[in-house]
Structure 1
Amino acid sequence: SFDFVGMLLLSPGLALFLFGVSSIPEKGTVADPRVWVSMLAGALLMLAFVWHSFRPQHPLLDLRLFRNRNLTLSVIVMFLFVAAFFGSLLLVPTYFQQVRGESTFNAGLLVAPQGLGAMVTMPIAGRLVDRIPVGRIVPFGLLGILAGMFPLTQITSETDYWKIVLALFVMGLGMGGTMMPMFTSALKSLTHQEVARGTTLININQQIASSVGVAVMSVLLTNWLPPQRIWYAVVGSWENPGLVTQLGGQGVVDGFLAEAGDAFASTFWVAWVLVLLTLIPVAFLPRRREESRMLDTEAPTGAAAAPPPH
């Protein structure tokens, strides 16, 4: 039977919590009522859902799956990774548009190498995970991300584009070597009946992690950028040169752009440290070859055993 109570608790709870989190960049603080009231209400509804989910036989979101150690570790790793990686990735097109004056189209093209890098390693990592334990693959993916992200921690308002593009490509290589093995390993530890429920659990985890990561990085960046009123004028000067004079001349504008470059670099440092911390739970991932349970079947709870064939 469908878990209507679970739906009435989880759906608005998750929506309210993510609405509050996504409002942080706009408000610039968690103290704004729109932020903390939404997050608190959402968190309370989700806590009520957690309590409720252990009662029905078929809950909307099966939290009993967290008894599976491998799935739990995979969810923790993916949460930290997604929050840091996708939170920082949002900063790159913003940097190109606001600090370097690029159009939205050009900014998208400049970020494309990250996707190309992921395209290279994703199929390779997908094949390797069938032969090599995930605990021996994912660390190399994260190290690739750390290597690619480090140049971004040194970014300025005048950094050569080729350095940024190369860094994004390396980050993409690392991402492809991280996401696919983690997802595959998590599902391999589940039985056939658990796969659909496990996939839902992983997807919701990624949505929450992405929203939290984007919100955290946006708030940090906003706090480190020049004062909002001045910064809007600086960004507007790319299309309205008359604002340069109002701000005090090109030298003053260049000074604000340099300050903004430092703000982006500092925010990338935070993301870099978060990716580094992800290596801690990764150390507990399986380092021996895992047998897939996806073809296993299990009798429904409380069902009588079928009689042997005659």
Structure 2
Amino acid sequence: MRELRVAEPVVDLRVLRHPTFAVATAAMFVISIAFYGIMVLSPLFTQILMGYTAMLAGLVLAPGGLATLITMPIAAALLNRVDPRWIIVTGCAVNAYAMYLMATLTLEASYWDIMLPRFIQGLGIGLTFVPLSTVALSAVPMREMGHASGLFNFIRTAGGSIGIATMATLLQRGTQVHQAQLVTHVSLYDPDVWNHYQTLADTFAARGADTVSAEAQAWASLYEMVQREALSLSFIDNFWRLAWIFAAVIPFVLLLGRRPRMAEAPADVERPATIVEV
């Protein structure tokens, strides 16, 4: 609150009095939570759950960056022709759809099954960040642009930090919850579990393990399957959360004011005086 009382604050919160800037900053905060949450979940999904190497995981995620490079200049070119709010809404909807596709993946997903949602998500990010930043800063007078830009970037970074920490925590706790639920269904008294257990034990015995070791390895394999399935369900839960976050931002984006066209000079910028020769 002290920042609101001093003449030259380090972070001038008074720029939030501009409604469009305030709404855009709040939207960027929420979108950053989801965006950086995706950034931490995607490599974990490919490497830990799917068993990809770092190189292969990078090849899965790289198309998303290429998609963003494609749509960013397109979004910038459309800013002066289309209402930016609809560009941002489209970007959020595309991101939500990409997260929906990720939430439908199974442990049998192929490289292309994972790469496609990542590419679509990259398209959505390019349609979101550029117009949202432009709309936010265009609503602020030029004399306050420095404070507004700094605050906007700070909020985006803070949202990213919260998104990374939150998604990592939810992933870990979700895995524990699903594992606790799944183990209640794993019993050697279940005919299907028993048959699978016997198949695993016979497999390890055929590889040279004694009876006790084969049974222990079979039980360990069953437990590993439960852990992997629990982790998969936790990833799915988080992808659904991210999809709903992007969808929830859309109504607030529609509250933004329309960005003035590039040809229009801001109201507080002094225009050069016209020299009239006599």
TM-score bin, normalised by smaller chain? 0.7 to 0.9
Counterpart residue number, 1:111: 61
How far apart are 1:290 and its partner, in Å? 5.0
- Tell me which moved more, 204-213 or 192-201: 192-201
Counterparts of 2:137 and 2:263 in 1: how far apart (Å)?
A: 8
Q: What is the match of residue 263 of structure 1?
A: 234
**Matched residue type, 2:126:** G
Q: Which of 119, 130, 136 is residue 80 of structure 2 equivalent to? A: 130
Gaps of 5+ in 2: 178-212, 271-278
After superposition, the Cα gap between the structure-2 partners of 1:158 and 1:226, relative to the gap in structure 1 and judged at 3 Å, is farther
Residues 1:247 and 1:179: Cα distance change in structure 2 (over 3 Å): farther
Which of residues 151, 154, 169 in structure 1 aligns to 2:101? 151
Deviations 1:116-159 (A, max 9, x none): 11111100101111222221211111111111111111122221
Q: How has the CA–CA distance of structure 1 residues 195 and 292 changed in structure 2, closer, same or farther, with 3 Å as cutoff?
A: farther
Aligned to 1:276: 247
Matched residue, 1:15: none
User: Which one has a bigger Cα radius of gyration?
Assistant: 2
Offset at 1:246? 5.2
CA shift digits 1:62-116 (9 cap, x unpaired) = 1110111111111011111111122123101001111122223332221111111
In the TM superposition, what is the alpha-carbon distance from 1:250 to its structure 2 partner? 3.9
Give 1:283's aligned amino acid: L
Correspondent of 1:96 among 30, 46, 55? 46
Aligned to 1:77: 27
Match of 2:162 in 1: 212
| Alpha-carbon contact 1:156-1:262 (below 8 Å) kept | no
SS in 2 for 1:273: helix
Return closer, same or farther for 1:251/1:125 CA change in 2, 3 Å cut-off: same
- Tell me by how many angstroms 1:257 deviates: 1.6
Kept in 2, the 8 Å contact 1:111–1:165? The answer is yes
Contact residue 187 and residue 294 of structure 1 kept, 8 A: no
Question: Is the counterpart of residue 222 in structure 1 residue 193 in structure 2?
Answer: no
Counterpart-to-counterpart distance in 1, 2:89 and 2:160: 21
- For 2:130, the aligned partner's letter is M
1:157 to 1:226, Cα distance in 2 relative to 1, 3 A = farther
CA distance in 2, matches of 1:71, 1:292: 20
Q: Would the aligned equivalents of 1:110 and 1:165 in 2 still touch at CA under 8 Å?
A: yes
Deviating beyond 3 angstroms after TM superposition, the runs of 4 or more aligned structure 1 residues are 249-252, 287-299
- Asked if structure 1 preserves the Cα contact closer than 8 Å seen for 2:138 and 2:260, the reply is no
Among residues 105, 127, 137, which one is paired with 1:177 in the alignment? 127
- Given candidates 77, 87, 91, the residue that maps to 2:37 is 87
**1:278-293 equivalent positions in 2, closer than 5 A:** 278-287=249-258, 289-290=260-261
| Greater RCO structure (CA 8 Å; 6+ sep) | 2
Worse-matched range after superposition: 288-297 or 136-145? 288-297
| Structure 1 gap segments, 5+ residues each | 1-50, 228-241, 300-310
Tell me the TM-score normalised to structure 2 length: 0.77
Shift of 1:58: 1.4
| Equivalent pair of 2:137/2:145 in contact (CA under 8 Å) | yes
Q: Give the Cα–Cα distance (whole angstroms) in 1 for the partners of residues 225 and 66 of structure 2.
A: 33
Normalised TM-score (structure 1): 0.69
Distance 1:192 1:294, change over 3 A: farther
Deviation readout 1:173-194 (Å, 9 max, x if unpaired): 0110010000011111222222
Residue aligned with 2:10, SS: coil
State the partner residue of 1:6: none
**For the Cα contact (< 8 Å) 1:117–1:172, is it kept in 2?**
yes
CA RMSD of aligned residues (A): 2.7
Deviation at 1:255, TM superposition (A): 3.5
